[in-house]
Amino acid sequence: MNKPALAIVVPCYNERDVLHETAKQLKEVLNALISEGLISPNSKIVFVDDGSRDETWRLIEEEKSGSEHISGVKLSRNFGHQGALLAGIHSAKLWYDCIITIDADLQDDIHVIRDFIIQYQNGAEIVYGVRKSRSTDSFFKRATAQAYYKFMRKLGIDLIYNHADFRLMSKRAVRVLEDFEERNMFLRGIVPMLGFKSEVVYYDRKERFAGETKYPLKKMMAFAFNGLTSFSIVPIRIVSLIGVLSFCLSFLTGVYAVVQKLLGHTESGWTSIIISVWIIGGLMLMSVGLIGEYIGKIYWETKRRPAYIIETDLTDDDQES
């Protein structure tokens, strides 16, 4: 089998504290694979600057000037993690036989990239990097993550358990991925839908090398909700939240009304009316909010806005040279 040209796509958002170390470690892995004859010498690492507000892009340019195996893509603004992944994948699709996506924080074990390549050479079109366990997570994060995966499975959404966005895709798989025309792609749900031969590589997740996480609790919850609806509309989500709060308030008010009734402090019929109005009102608001999520998704899809906009693409320069 010919040596495949590999592109490692690394989305970056305000990663100045870790970028040099990430580039260093990935170059070591890439050079080892080239020396072993597993991949082509034309393989590269493609950093995607997702509208960073620090010196991330300048550092990417520095890394490129110092290594033939480094390239970069700069987006015009912040499009989010999934948009940055797509930008990197689409920029590399014409020049590389397989593409690996990995975050810049070095939490994913880069040394299993070798196992990815071996699985690819054995015929796998998609290789998933899957965490062996969540022992390093807090109890809350571990419990909510497990509940989320189970809930998605019950809804018929085929997610790979304990898999994020550390994966290998062949050029064939990437081309088919382009047929999915959603403006807001939830790759963790879409990639398993491709149906090609896939394999799993297990690894131990590490602590973040430096800097702060780009997925605090609020952002993680938003991302999870996005996976359920394919997109999220903030104003309609607020309506849903109002519905939930209204329902909770109706429950508390109902308890109060029952107590008042038992104490004989109310007129006949007052309790049932209050409970009915508040509970039904809360349920209606929640229902309108849920329906609104799907209407909002349709609204954004019909606009056909791009998932990302590239300001500078250094991969073009690589091919011209």
Give per-residue pLDDT as tens, 151-188. 777 766 677 888 888 999 999 999 998 888 777 777 88
* pLDDT tops 70 at residue 50: yes
In which band, very low, low, confident or very high, does the pLDDT at 150 lie, cut at 50, 70 and 90?
A: confident
In which band, very low, low, confident or very high, does the pLDDT at 234 lie, cut at 50, 70 and 90?
A: low
Looking at residue 56, its pLDDT comes to: 93
4's CB contacts (< 8 A; 6+ apart) are: 39, 40, 96, 97, 98, 117, 120, 121
Looking at residue 231, its pLDDT comes to: 40
Q: Are 1 and 121 in contact (CB under 8 A)?
A: yes
pTM: 0.74
Looking at residue 318, its pLDDT comes to: 60
Place of tokens 């209407």: 295
Q: How far apart are CA 321 and CA 319, in angstroms?
A: 5
User: What fold, for 6-215?
Assistant: Spore Coat Polysaccharide Biosynthesis Protein SpsA; Chain A (3.90.550)
Go through the chain and tell me how many residues it has. 321
Question: Domain map of the chain by residue range?
Answer: 6-215, 234-303
Give the alpha-carbon dihedral of 247, 251, 254, 255, to 10 degrees: -170
- Give the DSSP H or E segment for 191: none
Angle at 60 between CA 54 and CA 66, to 5 degrees: 140
Give the alpha-carbon dihedral of 276, 282, 285, 291, to 10 degrees: -100
267's CB contacts (< 8 A; 6+ apart) are: none
Percent of the chain with pLDDT over 90: 38
Q: Are 49 and 89 in contact (CB under 8 A)?
A: no
Looking at residue 36, its pLDDT comes to: 93
Conformation bin of residue 268: beta by default, left when phi > 0, alpha when psi is -120 to 50: beta
